[in-house]
Amino acid sequence: MLPARSNREAQRILTCLCDPTRLKIVRALQATELAAGDLAVVIERSRSATSHHLRILREASAVRGRRERNVIRYRLSDDICANVLDAIGSACDLLAPT
């Protein structure tokens, strides 16, 4: 069982990931750090829609931005995001028909 703090963090992240666009963003950021414009191309959404979802993910502390001159590059903020995604992936693997 997760400690109370980790439980709250996992719940916060899972709530964010309920949106398919935000889930796509997080999955893209699992592989590498990306700028908002690059993320928009990867997830096939407009820049404004991508920025909106990134704001929600930042507020939930799921992603962090790093300014590089006039570009902000985003990455997953901590290991709990990766742990939650791994757990979801494992659960989906168990539910998949064999």
Q: What is the pLDDT along the chain (98 residues), one digit of tens a residue?
A: 556 667 777 777 778 878 889 888 988 888 889 999 999 999 999 999 999 999 999 888 888 999 989 999 999 887 666 677 777 767 767 776 66
DSSP state at residue 87: H
**Residue entry with tokens 């998949």:** 96
Sorted by sequence, the CB contacts under 8 Å of residue 53 that are 6+ apart come out as: 19, 21, 22, 25, 45
Assigned CATH topology for domain 4-95: Arc Repressor Mutant, subunit A (1.10.10)
Give this prediction's pTM.
Answer: 0.77
Of 47, 46, 23, 37, the residue nearest 74 (C-alpha): 37
What pLDDT is attached to residue 3?
64
Report the 10 Å Cβ neighbour count for 79.
9
Report the 10 Å Cβ neighbour count for 9.
20
Sheet holding 63-68, edge to edge: 34-35, 71-76, 63-68
